[in-house]
Amino acid sequence: MDNAVLKERILGLVPDAEYQENKQFLTFIIPPAKMHELAFKLKSESDLAFDYLFCLTGVDMVKFLEVVYHLESTTHQHQLELKVRTDDRVNGAVDTVCDIWRTAEFHEREIFDLLGIRFTNHPDLRRLFLEEDWIGHPLRKDYVDEVNIVEL
Amino acid sequence: MNFSIYDFTSFTQWIDKFLYDNLPAFWAVVVEMTIIGIVVLLFYALVGLFLVYAERKVCAFMQNRVGPNRVGPYGFFQTIADLFKLLMKELVYIKNADKLLFNIAPFIVIIASFMAIAAIPFAKGLHAIDFDIGILYVIAVSSMGVVGILLAGWSSNNKYSLIGAMRSGAQIVSYELSVGLSLVTIIILAGTMQFSAIVEGQANGWFIFKGHIPAFIAFIVFLIASTAETNRGPFDLAEAESELTAGFHTEYSGIKFAFFFLAEYMNMFIVASIAATVFLGGWMPFHVGGWAGFNHIMDFIPPFIWYIGKTFFVIWVMMWFKWTFPRLRIDQLLTLEWKYLLPINLVNILIMAFIVLMGWHF
Amino acid sequence: MKEIINLPVKNVEEEEYHINMGPQHPSTHGVLRLVVSLQGEIVKNLKPHCGYIHRGIEKMCEKDTYPQIIHLTDRMDYLSAHINNHAVCLLVEKALEVEVPERVKYIRTIVDELNRIASHQLWWCSFGMDMGGLTCFFYGLRDREKILDIFEESFGSRLLHSYYTPGGLMMDIHPDFQKNVKAFIKYFRKKIKDYDDLLTGNVIMQLRTKGVGILSKEDAISYGVTGPSGRASGFSCDVRKHHPYGVYDKADFKEILGTTGDTFERYMMRMHEMHESMKIIEQLIDNIPAGDYTAKMKAVLKLPAGEYFQRVEAARGELGVYVVSDGNKSPYRMKFRSPNFSNLSVLDHISRGCKIADLVAIGGSLDYVIPDIDR
């Protein structure tokens, strides 16, 4: 399916998705509440068939926290990029997609560990790389650590 | 007194006569036993040391490396250096381990292999104990070693050791059957269980040739089963380094570890000796039935050399396939024994009995 | 097992107990802690604890310039160091719209494939060692030394080279490079037959790997298992075919897919890949065009604001590099989608119901490099 048709299809599924121009992949910003349902449809509908989540990233844009999903379909060979944003830096939460793409289980744990974004309904949300009693989330822009980070 | 390297009987009888002439009977017996004990101990230690060195060199040869070559000429004293290091090591005491069993376990393993060595004929007349149930005695005594292994695993208070000991126990107990049955095949051919009679009976040809097909099958089965008995080769999952660190002897250090290590090599030696004695003729040179001239030439080489040569040949074969094959899993190992080797053994015994009855052997 | 073992222990067969294949273990190929819950010898479930070699590479990238980041990527999956470098270089070149000379593309492709062969050689030798055939370890390393000698001659170091830079290469290849590579291919073609004789055809090895650790195609896609492990399950994921880079579109090679997805298939995939890599190198080695070894680049590289994504095929799977740039000389956010991370997540799923010895075989066939997981 080429990008124009795909764009119409996504906007049809989630009308208040925000399309971003001039990006490498077809990119939408999805409201957090609609993400899980959209993800389910993206995987289950046969003309979309996005079964391969090849990258799941968390980004700290200082005003908001963002989760970026890169999806691909192994049957139709089309790709898609979705972003979900949350303003809440203390308790920001996004729905998990690990019941749809199993690879998300570890990726979401990593995002929780390093950026502090919670994922609701995740089966085992705990820190992945750092110790259980670590305070703070290192990948955040406002993270300060005099011991471990050397500022030149 | 006339010494002969072809026949040690005159030498041993000379010592015997000397002792009985000069000491009361009781003390003569005690001194004799002490001498034999010391000789066996020395032999055990020296052969053990040599085997460790040989293994490292053989393994290096197969792996395209050189092996130990720094300590002494061609690295000959490497094992002595290792032994010295092990003696100097701290004996780590495990807090919650059962102290008595923990300390006894390596000794049990060593004692079992000691007792087995005593019954094997090294040359004509060089035979410590000549039972008329020789083979039965050796099998019975070498199966005591499994008790040591199980005690070691259990008393270490460590899950890995326990798993290793359990695996090892299952393995050894199963493969004893195959060892015993393959030896029974030869007992049928030889007609006796006494080691010296078995060796004498091979004066006109080794049993592996005399008994052709069933003896050859028995030899192969014996090799496989005895490698499994000694926890070597493709059957070494009790000490699978890549899985359970060191299995049942993880918690042992210093001289106790050296005991386990030594016992493994000596068990390999014992098993190879039995194979060489029962199948390949022991100290009997290679004779062919009626070729008197050929036999006479073969007789020039002293029996002791024949014995050592055959034993080390079998040991070399065992080392060869240890370093070539990957390891079997526990259930595959037990399947091999119970579903393949055991039925083959039983059928083989029937074939051999039939052949002996019909006189179809050489 | 229950019927045979009769130890005087209370019900050790019936209870579940936990075993720690701790951070230091001969078989976990790096510092990975697996807490395995066992019942007798059967694995009930498995929890990996990573993070022992977490160095914060992604955070460091936010302070480093792009040429400096190349050195960090070397140290992620150190066995396919060149391929990691390649990903970052391609990303920067695409963002700055720089056209690298053909010579550079050829050399990069050839060196990538040599790196892939070296990585698979190391995998083979440690896989054999885990199975118990210790001789395999020495044979694999002996042959890998030949590749490392070629690398040392041209690039100066054996393992971590940082040879690619954005725009081209650090320096030109050694004049003997082509001759040595051709000699190596000839030598290795003979030796790889030995590998098959020693391990592939061995009955014990086949018994231990066939039917063990089966990963279905749907699971491979869902868990994101790529590389030879994914292809063994039938998941066609070769980035060199789907999104070609370098000069892969000029070389003729096959993407071989498996059917059953068991350990033996994963093993065979890597053996096939070594053959295919040799084929690629043979087709390209004589045709390296003359020219510059680097394009003209500015001293300070600043990527225009925006997002960029680059995918390459590392030895273990698909490596993705995602950069969010705000116009400075360091990225605002740099994320590495590492293949081993996704491959590890499937270990729990496929090892349920198998024995500890199988766990070692499965882990070896999935071929982890832990620093890539932890970054």
Q: What is the mean pLDDT of residues A22-40?
A: 86
- Confidence band (pLDDT; 50, 70, 90) for C6? very low
C187 touches chain B (CB under 8 A): no
Please name the residue of chain B whose CA is at the shortest distance from the CA of residue C17.
B159
CA pair distance B214, C98, nearest whole angstrom? 77
Residue A85 lies in a domain: yes
Task: Let me know if chains A and C touch, i.e. at least 3 Cβ pairs under 8 angstroms.
Answer: yes
Residue A96 lies in a domain: yes
The answer to whether the CB atoms of A103 and C235 lie below 8 A apart is no
Residue A94 lies in a domain: yes
**Per-residue model confidence (pLDDT) at position C145:** 92
Q: What is the mean pLDDT of residues C313-321?
A: 91
pTM summary value: 0.86
- DSSP state letter for C166: T
Residue C235 in this model has a pLDDT that exceeds 50? yes
CA A27, A71, A116, A138 dihedral sign is negative
Q: What is the mean pLDDT of residues C287-295?
A: 86
B235-250 pLDDT, tens digit each:
887 666 445 556 777 7
- Confidence band (pLDDT; 50, 70, 90) for B221? very high
User: Could you tell me the CATH number of the domain that includes residue A82?
Assistant: 3.30.460.80
Residue A111 lies in a domain: yes
The answer to whether the CB atoms of C345 and A25 lie below 8 A apart is no
CA pair distance B279, B214, nearest whole angstrom? 11
Instruction: Using alpha carbons, select from C87, C91, C150 the residue that is nearest to residue C117.
Output: C150
- Phi first, then psi: give them for residue B47, nearest 5 degrees: -65, -40
* Alpha carbon C209 to chain centroid, angstroms: 20
Instruction: List all chains that touch chain A, counting a touch as 3 or more CB pairs closer than 8 Å.
Output: C
Residue pair C36/C43 in contact by the 8 Å Cβ criterion: yes
Going through B186-253 in order, the beta strands assigned E by DSSP cover: none
Residue pair B57/B71 in contact by the 8 Å Cβ criterion: no
Instruction: List all chains that touch chain B, counting a touch as 3 or more CB pairs closer than 8 Å.
Output: C
Angle at C82 between CA C81 and CA C86, to 5 degrees: 120
Q: Which of C35, C76, C94, C223 to mutate to test the interface with A (most CBs of A within 10 A)?
A: C223
What value does the mean pLDDT of chain C take? 86
Query: Could you list the residue range(s) of the whole structural domain that residue A50 is in?
Result: 3-120
Residue pair B193/B133 in contact by the 8 Å Cβ criterion: yes
Residue B299 in this model has a pLDDT that exceeds 50? yes
CA pair distance C161, C151, nearest whole angstrom? 8
Residue C4 in this model has a pLDDT that exceeds 80? no
Contacts by B83-88, CB closer than 8 A, 24 or more apart: B83/B49, B83/B258, B86/B254, B86/B255, B86/B257, B86/B258, B87/B254, B87/B255, B87/B258, B88/B254
Three-state SS for C328? coil
Residue C11 in this model has a pLDDT that exceeds 60? no
Residue B347 in this model has a pLDDT that exceeds 90? yes
CA C298, C303, C304, C310 dihedral sign is positive
Residue A148 lies in a domain: no
Residue A128 lies in a domain: no
Residue C30 in this model has a pLDDT that exceeds 70? yes
Residue A70 lies in a domain: yes
Residue A150 lies in a domain: no
Which residue's structure tokens are 């003896």?
B215
The answer to whether the CB atoms of C322 and A57 lie below 8 A apart is yes
A54 touches chain C (CB under 8 A): yes
A79-86 and A27-30 as β-strands: parallel, antiparallel, unpaired?
parallel
Beta bridge partners of A79: A72
Q: What is the mean pLDDT of residues A2-25?
A: 83
What is the set of domains in chain C, with CATH numbers? 55-374 (1.10.645.10)
- DSSP state letter for C16: -
**Per-residue model confidence (pLDDT) at position B223:** 92
CA distances from A91 to A87, A107, A115, A118, B217 (A): 9, 19, 11, 7, 74
Q: What is the mean pLDDT of residues B50-79?
A: 86
> Which A residues 73-92 touch C at CB under 8 Å?
74, 77
- Confidence band (pLDDT; 50, 70, 90) for C3? very low
Residue B346 in this model has a pLDDT that exceeds 90? yes
For the ranges A13-17, B143-147, C28-32, C181-185, the lowest mean pLDDT is seen at C28-32
- Confidence band (pLDDT; 50, 70, 90) for C7? very low
Three-state SS for C226? coil
Most confident residue range from B21-30, B89-98, B122-131, B160-169:
B21-30
**Per-residue model confidence (pLDDT) at position B246:** 63
Orientation angle between helical segments B25-62 and B254-278, nearest 10 degrees: 90
B27-41 pLDDT, tens digit each:
888 888 888 888 888
Instruction: Using alpha carbons, select from A16, A55, A5 the residue that is nearest to residue A38.
Output: A16
Q: Which of C35, C60, C65, C222 to mutate to test the interface with A (most CBs of A within 10 A)?
A: C222
Q: Which of B327, B336, B339 to mutate to test the interface with C (most CBs of C within 10 A)?
A: B327
Instruction: Using alpha carbons, select from C133, C115, C111 the residue that is nearest to residue C124.
Output: C133
Q: What is the mean pLDDT of residues C103-117?
A: 92
Secondary structure percentages of chain C, helix, strand, coil, to 5: 50, 15, 40
For the ranges B18-27, C82-91, C151-160, the lowest mean pLDDT is seen at B18-27
The answer to whether the CB atoms of C306 and A23 lie below 8 A apart is yes
CA pair distance C209, C294, nearest whole angstrom? 46
Structure tokens at B339: 């579903």
Task: Let me know if chains B and A touch, i.e. at least 3 Cβ pairs under 8 angstroms.
Answer: no
Chain C positions in Cβ-Cβ contact with residue B334 (cut-off 8 Å)? 4
**Per-residue model confidence (pLDDT) at position B313:** 92
| Element housing C18 (H / E) | strand C17-21
CA pair distance B303, B283, nearest whole angstrom? 5
**Per-residue model confidence (pLDDT) at position C5:** 41
The answer to whether the CB atoms of B236 and C133 lie below 8 A apart is no
Q: What percent of chain B has pLDDT over 90?
A: 8
Half-sphere exposure of B16 (CA within 13 A, CB side): 8
Exposed/middle/buried for B357, CB within 10 Å: 0-12, 13-18, 19+? exposed
Residue A44 in this model has a pLDDT that exceeds 80? yes
**Per-residue model confidence (pLDDT) at position C335:** 92
The number of distinct structural domains making up chain A is 1
CA pair distance B305, B283, nearest whole angstrom? 8
